[in-house]
């Protein structure tokens, strides 16, 4: 027995004074309403209504129970309304998680500006600690997670937010010791600085691109920050997010390699719960970030990056 449905039937009977009137108001049959009341009486062990051929009146227990049931139903309806409004309004807590290297780039700035623009949304932003299972962030209480992998998982929804450009680079110190990289196929004879989740490098675009499984790994890390530092100190060739390497490329600390074969960008994806209609705060957040990245692309180089060919 659906207790809430039965209570609603009984309260409606108490209001209109008949089974047929209650049935009409609730859009069902009089026999079903009568059965609901009978089931409720059986459950409680008392008569709630006096039935006559023309009308239905409440007994003393029925009057008391109808007042109680009305209070319960009113509270349920009010809470349903509040929850629906909360879902539809861009406010409340919003928990976000992403890999450390992404959060340390533009994404951190974008989320900080979003928080200022939407003060009624209390942002919780965590870096790292992500599981390989795409849906674990939901079990951990997060609303949105960011990845650079194109995930195909029906347990979550996915939205592309932006492109994150990468560059192949090295320092003059490394180049002086090991020579220039003039062909992508020569990567095998160079010391390479490799992210643990990125052991295969794609060089070039489209049909002309080539994949290179890096075997001569001189330095390995789960942090692009560490790889960047190793590149600056001359440890080897690195494949880095352009944003993190930008200043050092501009001032000549790092040199762009194989500029005629640009490295493909990585797509930044937001993943969130599988509900058909995402909470309004999530929709507003994703729309804001998409617009932010479109309006804040990587700065155009005012002069050519000093490259080695």
Residue 301 pLDDT grade (very low, low, confident, very high; cuts 50, 70, 90):
very low
The CA angle 270-274-277, to the nearest 5 degrees, is 95
The predicted pLDDT at position 102 comes to 81
Helix (H, G, I), strand (E, B), or coil: what is residue 228?
Answer: helix
Q: How many residues does the chain have?
A: 309
Given a cut of 60, whether residue 299 has pLDDT beyond it is no
Q: Which fold has domain 166-256?
A: D-Maltodextrin-Binding Protein; domain 2 (3.40.190)
Each residue of 25-34: b (16+ CB within 10 Å) or e?
ebeeeeeebb
The distance between the two most distant Cα atoms of the chain, rounded to a whole number of Å, is 104
H/E stretch holding 100 reads helix 100-103
* pLDDT tier at 218, thresholds 50, 70, 90: very high
pLDDT (tens digit per residue) in 5-32: 999 999 999 999 889 889 999 999 989 9
Tell me what pLDDT residue 303 has.
Answer: 41
pTM of the complete model? 0.66
What value does the mean pLDDT take over residues 163-192?
A: 94
What mean pLDDT is reported for the chain? 87
pLDDT band per the 50, 70, 90 thresholds, residue 154: low
pLDDT digits (tens, 9 = 90+) for 281-298: 999 999 999 999 999 886
Phi, psi (rounded to 5 degrees) for 66: -65, -40
- How much is the pLDDT for 297? 82
Residue 90 pLDDT? 82
CATH topology of domain 92-164+266-295: D-Maltodextrin-Binding Protein; domain 2 (3.40.190)
CA distance 68 to 60: 13
Phi/psi for 100 (5° steps) reads -60, -40
pLDDT in tens, 178-216: 999 999 999 999 999 999 889 999 998 878 789 999 999
- 90 vs 146: which has the higher pLDDT: 146
The average pLDDT across 170-178 equals 96
Task: Say what the pLDDT of residue 300 is.
Answer: 42
Same topology, domains 3-86 and 92-164+266-295? Answer is: no
The predicted structure's pLDDT at residue 149:
74
How would residue 87 be classed by pLDDT, with cut points 50, 70 and 90?
Answer: low
- Which of 1.25.40.340, 1.10.10.10, 1.20.1630.10, 3.30.360.10 is the CATH number of 3-86? 1.10.10.10
| Residue 1 clears pLDDT 70, i.e. is over it | no
pLDDT at 85: 67
Q: Is residue 238 helix, strand or coil?
A: strand
Main-chain dihedrals φ then ψ at residue 13, nearest 5 degrees: -60, -45
Residue 123's contacts (CB-CB under 8 Å, 6 or more residues apart) are 94, 96, 111, 114, 115
């Amino acid at each position: 027995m659906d207790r809430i449905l039965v209570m609603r039937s009984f309260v409606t009977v108490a209001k209109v004074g008949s089974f047929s009137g209650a049935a009409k108001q609730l859009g069902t049959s009089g026999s079903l309403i009568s059965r609901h009341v009978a089931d409720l009486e059986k459950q409680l062990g008392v008569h709630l209504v006096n039935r006559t051929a023309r009308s239905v009146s409440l007994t003393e227990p029925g009057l008391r129970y109808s007042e109680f049931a009305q209070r319960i139903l009113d509270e349920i309806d009010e809470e349903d309304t509040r929850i629906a409004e909360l879902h539809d309004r861009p406010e409340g807590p919003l928990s976000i998680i992403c890999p450390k290297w992404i959060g340390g780039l533009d994404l951190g700035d974008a989320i900080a500006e979003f928080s200022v623009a939407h003060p009624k949304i209390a942002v919780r932003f965590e870096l790292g600690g992500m599981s390989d299972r795409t849906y674990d962030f939901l079990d951990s209480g997060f609303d949105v997670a960011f990845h650079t992998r194109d995930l195909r998982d029906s347990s979550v929804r996915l939205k592309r937010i932006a492109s994150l450009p990468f560059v192949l680079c090295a320092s003059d110190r490394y180049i002086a010791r090991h020579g220039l990289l003039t062909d992508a196929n020569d990567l095998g004879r160079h010391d390479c600085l490799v992210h643990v989740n990125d052991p295969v490098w794609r060089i070039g675009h489209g049909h002309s691109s080539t994949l290179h499984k890096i075997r001569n790994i001189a330095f390995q890390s789960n942090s692009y920050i560490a790889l960047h530092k190793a590149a600056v100190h001359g440890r080897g060739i690195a494949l880095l997010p352009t944003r993190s390497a930008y200043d050092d490329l501009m001032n000549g600390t790092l040199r762009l390699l194989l500029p005629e074969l640009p490295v493909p960008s990585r797509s930044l994806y937001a993943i969130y719960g599988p509900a058909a209609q995402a909470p309004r705060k999530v929709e507003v957040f994703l729309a804001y970030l998409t617009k932010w990245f479109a309006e804040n692309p990587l700065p155009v180089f005012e002069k050519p990056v000093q490259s080695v060919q």
